[in-house]
Amino acid sequence: MQRLETAMKKPKIRIYTKTFIWPFRDIAELGGLCLILNMRSLFAFLLFVAVSTQAATTAFLDFQQAGQFSNYFNGDSNPVWSQSSSAGVGGTGGVQWTLGGSDVWVAKVGFQPSVGSTYTLSVQYLCQINSGYGGIGLTSQNSNLNLAGSTAGVNPGLGISYHGGAFNLNNNSVSEGDTLWTLTSYGASKSGNQGIPSPGYGSSGNYWSQLSLKIKYLGSNQFDLTPEVYDVNQTTGAVGSMMASGATRTITNSNLGTASVLYPYFSSNGSRFVAADNITMPVPEPSALSLLAIGLGGLAVMRRRRGC
């Protein structure tokens, strides 16, 4: 009896438990309301990350697959460029147009510019006669884009238009006067001091060359532009020696400087070029595109879900 009384006098032992709540619970109940929070928040977060981190990588388009051109680019209001299985270097896939055709094509998907980063665009153009321009650059819109001015620029846009002996800087609708190429010794011997091989200037017929443009985003609406021209193997498209270059120029463009996304464009104006091939351009990182797809797909699924 005494032992029983002693045992009953022992202090009571209390067991404390804590309930941990997973931060991404699928369904939370608050005030009697059923709220679908977590997966929707997660998908929205992935969507935000994808849109906010469109860091750039480089895409290479050789037009060996049918539909590649139209899949990657939007045309202007009167498109004349078209993909062909034999219009490219060495009779391979490429993009072609009739001599004298003026056109601009802009990438459907853009990238988010980063201060201090340099982006390189390049295209191999086929020169047929000594007149007209080929253009290359960046713009802040990916549809309803048309040529602006008498060269091959666009508005809004920042890039260059190039021809035999010189090039023009294009800043929106403003096209600066000719800037002569600085020739390498190879370029001088190859093109008769004209920078780019073309009929009457070191070449007796059609000739492929590569235009490259390096654009560095400096911040505060400023960009450095550095154009270069390379020879290419006329059968394989392999890039050869540099033929000419232009001095780096710093250009202010508030349209592009305040844009969250930029899009590469390629263009032609007048009678010089008739085909293009082997395009390289900056595009979003695949990881960003994957996050974007997951985020959009997840939100679509969540919209179908009904309250519990």
Question: Taking 90 as the threshold, does the pLDDT of residue 249 lie above it?
Answer: yes
Q: Which of 17-26, 210-219, 267-276 has the lowest mean pLDDT?
A: 17-26
Question: Taking 60 as the threshold, does the pLDDT of residue 61 lie above it?
Answer: yes
Determine how many CB atoms are found less than 10 A away from the CB of residue 241: 12
pTM of the model: 0.76
Give the mean pLDDT of 121-150. Answer: 92
Contacts of 100 (CB under 8 A, 6+ apart): 132, 270, 271
Segment 62-119, tens digit of pLDDT:
999 999 999 999 999 999 999 999 999 999 999 999 988 899 999 999 999 999 999 9
CATH 2.60.120.560 fits 56-284, yes or no: yes
pLDDT at 114: 95
For the chain, the DSSP string reads: -HHHHHHHHSPPP---------TT-SEEEETTEEEE-HHHHHHHHHHHHHHHT--EEEEEE---STTHHHHHEE--SS---EEESSSSGGG-SEEE--TT--EEEEESS-B---TT-EEEEEEEEEE-SS--EEEEEEES-SSS--EETTTTEESS-EEEEE-SSEEEEEETTEEPPPEE-EE-HHHHHHHTTSSS-EETBEESS-EEEEEEEEEEEEETTEEEEEEEEEEE-TTT--EEEEEEE---EEEE-HHHHT-S-BEEEEEEESSSEEEEEEEEEEEE-HHHHHHHHHHHHHHHHHHHPPP-
Domain residue spans of the chain: 24-53+285-308, 56-284
Question: Taking 60 as the threshold, does the pLDDT of residue 15 lie above it?
Answer: no
Question: Taking 70 as the threshold, does the pLDDT of residue 48 lie above it?
Answer: no
CA distance linking residue 303 with residue 308, whole number of Å:
13
CA distance linking residue 163 with residue 179, whole number of Å:
10
Share of the chain above pLDDT 70, in %: 70
Residue 223 CB-density burial (10 A; 0-12 exposed, 13-18 middle, 19+ buried): buried
pLDDT at 106: 97
Question: Taking 60 as the threshold, does the pLDDT of residue 225 lie above it?
Answer: yes
Question: Taking 60 as the threshold, does the pLDDT of residue 161 lie above it?
Answer: yes
Question: Taking 50 as the threshold, does the pLDDT of residue 46 lie above it?
Answer: no
End-to-end CA distance of the chain: 57
pLDDT at 205: 63
C-alpha distances in angstroms, 219 versus 84, 116, 222?
40, 8, 6
Greater pLDDT, 186 or 120: 120
- In contact, 226 and 246? CB cutoff 8 Å: yes
Segment 262-302, tens digit of pLDDT:
999 999 999 889 999 999 999 987 654 454 455 455 555 55
